[in-house]
């Protein structure tokens, strides 16, 4: 039982390149989330998916797109990476009604040069 | 605008001492207040949580104190141990909707032997 799995763990991009961060959960959760973590800023919500087939913007959605591929998978895409998107990205999942507990993956450390 | 304000940013405590981290919120509709613990290179994990109908919740050495009228809550770690050294995040959310968490900026705790 892996929980929430994120790939890749590390990535270096050049400004303007694109990439997709992958996230999969095996807990049969309906809700999934993407956060970014920056020093002194805590975790900020980028996008979330309350259930399969739905996605909504969070606090900092600009420059990102998401796809809820199926109930297990929720991907985050950077179409044209910028240095300001250098951050650690976390995916999380939860099941509404089970105490609001969000389970996090180990993160993807992204550097944009 | 930070919906949950957390202090201090960093904290150094001697082994066996008490660690105290404070948080404040503005939105009176919040009805779930968790604390997450994050070790280096890992994702955050739920440590303890409280709902506003109680003023205190204790789990082992960890206690949440909640003051609804002041819109403040705090985490107390009794008999702090070097293994408690981590970053702690307070958060708040609504039980309805997508259960999005609003995180504080984090407190880096170091417990010295």
Query: Using one digit for the tens of pLDDT, what is the confidence trace for B28-60?
Result: 989 899 999 999 999 999 999 999 889 999 999
How many Å apart are CA B50 and CA B95, to the nearest integer? 12
Mean pLDDT confidence for B79-96? 92
- Contact (CB, 8 A) for A102 and A13: no
Nearest-CA neighbor of A8 among A76, A82, A103, A85? Answer: A76
Q: Which residues pair with B14 in a beta bridge?
A: B112
| Exposure string for B33-43, b = 16+ CB within 10 A, e = fewer | bbbbbbeeeeb
CA A43 to chain centre: 11
Contact criterion met (CB < 8 Å) for A100 and B34: yes
Q: Which residues pair with A45 in a beta bridge?
A: A35
Quick count: other Cβ atoms within 10 Å of Cβ B3? 16
CB proximity list for A89: less than 8 A, separation 6 or greater: A6, A21, A34, A35, A36, A37, A46, A76, A107, A108, A110
Evaluate if residue B107 carries a pLDDT over 70: yes
Contact criterion met (CB < 8 Å) for B43 and A106: yes
Provide Rg for chain B, Cα atoms.
14
How many Å apart are CA A95 and CA A93, to the nearest integer? 7
> Burial level of A105, CB count in 10 A (0-12/13-18/19+)?
buried
Give pLDDT, residue A41: 86
Q: If you average pLDDT over every residue of chain A, what do you get?
A: 93
| Residue owning tokens 């944009």 | A112
Q: Are strands B62-67 and B56-59 parallel, antiparallel or unpaired?
A: antiparallel
Give pLDDT, residue B100: 83
Q: For residue A1, what pLDDT band results from cuts at 50, 70 and 90?
A: low
Contact criterion met (CB < 8 Å) for B95 and A100: yes
Mutate to test the interface with A, among B36, B95, B100 (most CBs of A within 10 A): B100
**Closest CA of chain B from A47, distance in Å:** 10
Which chain B positions have a beta carbon within 8 Å of A92's beta carbon? 43
CA B66 to chain centre: 11
């Amino acid at each position: 039982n892996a929980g929430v799995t994120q790939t890749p763990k590390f990535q270096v991009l050049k400004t303007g390149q694109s990439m997709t961060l992958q996230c999969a959960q095996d807990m049969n959760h309906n809700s999934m989330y993407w956060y970014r973590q920056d020093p002194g800023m805590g975790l900020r919500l980028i996008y979330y998916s309350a259930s399969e087939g739905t996605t909504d913007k969070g606090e900092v959605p600009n420059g990102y797109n998401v796809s809820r591929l199926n109930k297990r998978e929720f991907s985050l895409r950077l179409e044209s990476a910028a240095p300001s998107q250098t951050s650690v990205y976390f995916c999380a999942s939860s099941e509404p009604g089970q105490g609001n507990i969000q389970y996090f993956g180990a993160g993807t450390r992204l550097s944009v040069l | 605008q930070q919906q949950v304000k957390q202090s201090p940013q960093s904290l150094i405590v001697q082994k066996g001492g008490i660690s105290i981290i404070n948080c404040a919120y503005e939105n009176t509709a919040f009805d779930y207040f968790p604390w997450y613990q994050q070790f280096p290179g890992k994702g955050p994990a739920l440590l303890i949580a409280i709902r506003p109908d109680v003023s205190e919740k204790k789990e082992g050495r960890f206690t949440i104190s909640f003051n609804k009228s002041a819109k403040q809550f705090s985490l107390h770690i009794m008999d702090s141990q070097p293994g408690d050294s981590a970053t702690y995040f307070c958060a708040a959310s609504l039980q309805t909707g997508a259960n999005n968490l609003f995180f504080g900026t984090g407190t880096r705790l170091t417990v010295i032997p």
